[in-house]
């Protein structure tokens, strides 16, 4: 089943808009040999402090891209994601799960998790949780478990700042284990989970971000929720309604399988998985981790392992190698059709330098393929911009902000707009052919450049301290001095 998931991931086009700026940050770190701590992309925040998050994943994926291009990036990401499910499958077999039952568990859980897969550093978090569950399932000597666990937790946090998930999982397992121990239903105390819990807490700050990771995690969650990012909304939220029927059907299968294995349940593993179910009721993105942690629960058993357990890792490696090789040479587009790759490449080759006012999902592509000549007014990092800026962005999308006001604030050298999101703004720019010329050629985006572009003229933007007042529907008066970049 993980091999089928791997093939499915590698067949899908790259569609995550944030992976582009992530890889450009990785490039900058590879070139400078240090974390990026100053904002390099956002025009109105250029040079401000930047907390480095997922730095290790960004470096790895940027290095992989240099070696093998985007196909290699997609392969490494997919291997990390499916590797998490291979790990929990091995953990289940280490505890005696029957192959048929394990296969059913993997089918249910992979179907539940696939909608939340994408080329992004979060794939390393899937691998991290899978490795942690495998480590606990192997029941190694305590000292070895703690040493290996500490390494997994620190690497996980540097790859993706989500070791708080490990802390929640370990805490739930430890609580259930101590309860069973105190009631005489478990012989040995749950020392592994108990001692790994504070190590998870220490791992949270064992990155270049340090203590700032807590502020950034809170800010990102708050801003993502405020902006209506579907993965940060509850699975019961109306915006996630299209996913709800399939989730209910799959979780019905989960309940049925739990009924089958009820006499062999690993209650500690079940307690850890239930933490992610509760999280998913708050934010849908945690369905992925609920599905991952469920595999050893649903595949519970008390049966001896066989030769297949020694061969399974080798079979997966061989199969993954064949699939990855086929994916690396497959023809056809590598990117989703709604990404403005052609338009950004044309813009980057135009010689223009300065700020591009773009639909915020397009900002990551510009940051990657247009750096360093082009900067962005907005991108997909909700935490990078204040709510007053997002109010301005949404008002501009609705056609409520004059083009002249946006020009006064951002001094754009080009506009790259979504036909679906920015129709009113596109129509407003089309009424000003004396100032802006539309450049055709990319169905994913509408590109405008200065009417005189091509004469060799280029300029860098000037920014004012004006902000959008959502109550008055106007830009506030400028305060403070104007800053020229």
**Is the pLDDT reported for residue 458 higher than 90?**
no
416-430 pLDDT, tens digit each: 999 999 999 999 999
pLDDT score of 469: 46
Between CA 231 and CA 237, with CA 233 as vertex, the angle to 5 degrees is 120
360-388 core/surface letters (b: 16 or more CB in 10 A; e: else)? bbbbbbbbbbbbebbbbbbbbbbbbbeee
**Is the pLDDT reported for residue 454 higher than 70?**
no
- Contact between residue 305 and residue 96 where contact means Cβ atoms under 8 Å apart: yes
pLDDT score of 241: 76
> What average pLDDT does range 36-59 have in this prediction?
95
pLDDT score of 70: 92
Supply the mean pLDDT for the chain: 86
pLDDT score of 333: 57
> What average pLDDT does range 248-255 have in this prediction?
77
Residue 475: pLDDT band with limits 50, 70, 90: very low
> What average pLDDT does range 95-119 have in this prediction?
86
136-157 pLDDT, tens digit each: 988 899 999 999 999 999 999 9
348-386 pLDDT, tens digit each: 988 899 999 999 999 999 999 999 999 999 999 999 999
Task: Give the whole-angstrom CA distance, residue 136 versus residue 266.
Answer: 12
Q: How many CA atoms lie within 13 A of 440 on its CB side?
A: 0
- Contact between residue 141 and residue 96 where contact means Cβ atoms under 8 Å apart: no
User: Which residue stretches of 160-306 are H helix?
Assistant: 163-182, 191-203, 212-226, 244-260, 267-280, 287-298
Task: Give the whole-angstrom CA distance, residue 114 versus residue 12.
Answer: 11
322-338 pLDDT, tens digit each: 666 666 666 655 899 99
What number of other Cβ atoms are within 10 A of residue 117's Cβ? 21
Give the chain's largest Cα–Cα span: 83
pLDDT score of 312: 57
> What average pLDDT does range 276-298 have in this prediction?
90
**Is the pLDDT reported for residue 303 higher than 70?**
no
Global pTM reads 0.86
Lowest mean pLDDT among 113-122, 253-262, 459-468: 459-468
Residue 478: pLDDT band with limits 50, 70, 90: very low
Lowest mean pLDDT among 225-239, 241-255, 350-364, 386-400: 241-255
Residue 482: pLDDT band with limits 50, 70, 90: very low
Lowest mean pLDDT among 79-88, 205-214, 261-270, 443-452: 261-270
User: Which sign does the torsion angle of CA 473, 479, 484, 485 carry?
Assistant: negative
65-79 pLDDT, tens digit each: 999 999 999 999 999
Task: Give the whole-angstrom CA distance, residue 452 versus residue 84.
Answer: 53
**Is the pLDDT reported for residue 185 higher than 90?**
no
pLDDT score of 480: 34
> What average pLDDT does range 252-280 have in this prediction?
82
Lowest mean pLDDT among 231-245, 281-295, 386-400: 231-245
Q: Which residue has the higher pLDDT, 308 or 411?
A: 411
**Is the pLDDT reported for residue 460 higher than 80?**
no
> What average pLDDT does range 90-112 have in this prediction?
85
- Contact between residue 477 and residue 466 where contact means Cβ atoms under 8 Å apart: yes
């Amino acid at each position: 089943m993980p091999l089928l998931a791997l093939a499915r991931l590698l067949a899908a086009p790259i569609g995550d808009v944030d992976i582009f700026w992530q890889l450009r940050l990785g490039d900058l770190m590879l070139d400078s040999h240090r974390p990026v701590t100053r904002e390099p992309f956002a025009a109105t925040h250029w040079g401000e402090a930047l907390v480095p998050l997922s730095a290790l994943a960004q470096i790895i994926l940027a290095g992989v891209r240099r070696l093998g291009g985007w196909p290699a990036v997609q392969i490494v990401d997919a291997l990390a994601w499916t590797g998490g499910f291979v790990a929990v499958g091995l953990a289940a077999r280490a505890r005696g799960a029957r192959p048929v039952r394990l296969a059913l568990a993997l089918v249910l859980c992979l179907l539940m998790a696939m909608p939340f897969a994408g080329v992004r550093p979060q794939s390393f978090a899937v691998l991290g949780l899978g490795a942690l569950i495998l480590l606990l399932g192997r029941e190694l000597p305590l000292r070895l478990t703690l040493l290996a666990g500490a390494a997994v937790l620190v690497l996980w946090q540097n790859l993706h700042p989500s070791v708080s998930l490990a802390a929640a999982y370990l805490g739930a397992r430890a609580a259930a284990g101590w309860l069973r121990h105190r009631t005489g239903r478990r012989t040995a105390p749950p020392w592994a989970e108990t001692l790994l819990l504070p190590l998870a807490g220490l791992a949270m700050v064992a990155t270049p971000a340090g203590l700032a990771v807590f502020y950034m995690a809170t800010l990102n969650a708050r801003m993502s929720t405020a902006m209506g990012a579907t993965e940060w909304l509850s699975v019961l939220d109306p915006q996630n309604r299209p996913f709800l029927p399939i989730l209910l059907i799959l979780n019905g299968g989960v309940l049925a399988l739990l009924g089958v294995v009820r006499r062999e349940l690993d209650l500690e593993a079940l307690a850890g998985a239930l933490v992610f179910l509760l999280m998913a009721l708050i934010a849908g993105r945690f369905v992925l981790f609920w599905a991952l942690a469920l595999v050893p629960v649903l595949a519970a058993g008390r049966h001896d392992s066989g030769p297949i357990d020694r061969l399974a890792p080798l079979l997966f490696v061989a199969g993954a190698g064949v699939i990855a090789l086929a994916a690396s040479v497959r023809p056809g587009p590598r990117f989703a059709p709604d990404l403005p790759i052609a338009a950004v490449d044309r813009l980057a080759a135009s010689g223009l330098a300065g700020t591009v006012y773009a639909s915020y999902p397009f900002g990551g592509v510009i940051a990657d393929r247009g750096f360093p000549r082009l900067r962005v007014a907005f991108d997909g990092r909700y935490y990078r911009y204040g709510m007053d800026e997002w109010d301005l962005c949404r008002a501009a999308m609705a056609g409520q902000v004059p083009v002249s006001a946006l020009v006064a604030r951002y001094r754009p050298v080009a506009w790259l707009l979504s036909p679906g999101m920015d129709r009113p703004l596109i129509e407003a720019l089309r009424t000003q052919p004396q100032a802006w010329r539309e450049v055709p050629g990319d169905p994913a985006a509408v590109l405008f450049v200065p009417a005189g572009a091509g004469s060799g003229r280029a300029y860098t933007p000037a920014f004012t301290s004006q902000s959008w007042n959502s109550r008055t529907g106007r830009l506030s008066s400028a305060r403070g001095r104007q800053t020229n970049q």
